[in-house]
Each structure stands twice: as structure tokens, then as C-alpha cells.
Structure 1
Amino acid sequence: MNCRIIDMRHKEVINVKDGTRIGCVCDVEIDTADARVIAIVIYGRLRCFGLLGREDDIIIKWQDIQVIGDDTILVTYNNYCRTKKRGRGFGGFFGN
């Protein structure tokens, strides 16, 4: 199967280990010396509508890609740990 880089952009990336949606492909890293793709990049989520920047980008090595389908890319990614931060609310002020 031939796939252009422009076709890979905006494909949804799914982790096959737990079925979580990691995000969409935003960029590709290429080794210019060997002329090969070495990783796909998924931009981090915006924090507070982008006012506080964005989370770290997720870089998935080419070896971790299992299947490239029409709409999705299935990967085996071990370092993925995106947990929802819980606000402490007023408990942080009162020591709870």
C-alpha cells in the first residue's frame, strides 16, 4: 500500500493496547540522511483554550505503528499516560 504524507495527516491514532484515542496525526518526522519516516507526531492538547500553551507533543516511532487504515492508524504505544487533572476546588484552600 502506498501512502503519501498528506494522506496521513488528520488520521485518528488509536492505541491497540487499551483502545484509547490518542489524537490525530499532525506532523511526520523524516530522517533526511536515510530518506525514511522515523515517527509521527500528535500535537498536545490545548490548555485553557490555548491561553496557557499546550501539553507536550506525543511522538510515536515508526516501529510502533501496527496498521495504517483508511481512517485510522493503529499503534502500540507504551508511554501514553494522559490523565485528567482533577481540580481540588476549595478543598485546597481549607486543607482537605
Structure 2
Amino acid sequence: MVRISEFQIKDVVNISDGKKLGNIGDIEINLETGKIDAIVIGSGGKLLGLFGKEEDIVIPWNNIVKIGTDVILVRFKEQKYTQQQLNEPK
């Protein structure tokens, strides 16, 4: 079993280019199934949020390739999944 606090300190890395995307700031849980739908990587804003805010990166759970001891490997394309996009009906 993994605690959320342990999950949040792992670096999230894109397997396609090896780029570190950040750390998990939040998770989305489906209340009907009790399963995690997505992880959210907080942007942290620009200059402490003074000059605008970047969008959070939302990565669907099925895009997680491997969860290791120090890193979470994900499939991520430059198209960012925002909260709004995940909430839109398909």
C-alpha cells in the first residue's frame, strides 16, 4: 500500500523524452468506483503566481506506465489534459 504523502514526493517523468513534469499536487478519485482517475501535477505558477498561472497538468491514470521507488513514469504528449477537458462529456 502507498500513502498519498509518499506518492506526492515522487518525480513524474515522461517516458517519451525523459523530461521531468513535476510532482503530484493532487489526485482525482471517482467516488462511484473508489478508483483513481487521474493525477494532477501542479504548475506552481510563475514567479510565485505574480505574473499569471500556468495550467495544471492532468494525466489519466491509464497513462501511468510504472510507479517506482523514486519516480513515476508516464506517457504524456504535449497536449495537456486540463481539469476542464476531463470534465467535458465525451
- The TM-score, its normalising length taken from structure 1, stands at 0.75
Write the letter of the residue equivalent to 1:58: I
Supply the distance in 2 between the matched residues of 1:49 and 1:30 (Cα, whole angstroms).
28
Equivalences, count: 80
* Secondary structure, counterpart of 2:48 in structure 1: coil
Question: 1:30 maps to what in 2?
Answer: 29
Write the letter of the residue equivalent to 2:10: K
- Shift, 1:32, TM fit: 0.6
Supply the distance in 1 between the matched residues of 2:63 and 2:42 (Cα, whole angstroms).
17
Deviates more, 1:21-30 or 1:47-56: 47-56
* Secondary structure, counterpart of 1:25 in structure 2: strand
Which is helix-richer, 1 or 2?
2
Q: Is the 8 A contact 1:10 1:26 kept in 2?
A: no
- The TM-score, its normalising length taken from structure 2, stands at 0.79
Supply the distance in 2 between the matched residues of 1:22 and 1:80 (Cα, whole angstroms).
13
Superposed structure 1 runs of 4+ greater than 3 Å apart: none
Structure 1 unaligned spans of 5+: 82-96
Tell me if 1:74 matches 2:73. Answer: yes
With over 3 angstroms needed to count, the CA separation of the structure-2 counterparts of 1:13 and 1:64, relative to structure 1, is same
* More relative contact order, 1 or 2 (CA 8 Å, 6+ apart): 2
Structure of larger gyration radius: 1
Q: Let me know the Cα RMSD of the aligned residues.
A: 1.6
- Summarize deviations over 1:51-70 as a string: whole Å, max 9, x none: 12320000000000001011
- Summarize deviations over 1:3-47 as a string: whole Å, max 9, x none: 222221121000000101100111111001110001000011422
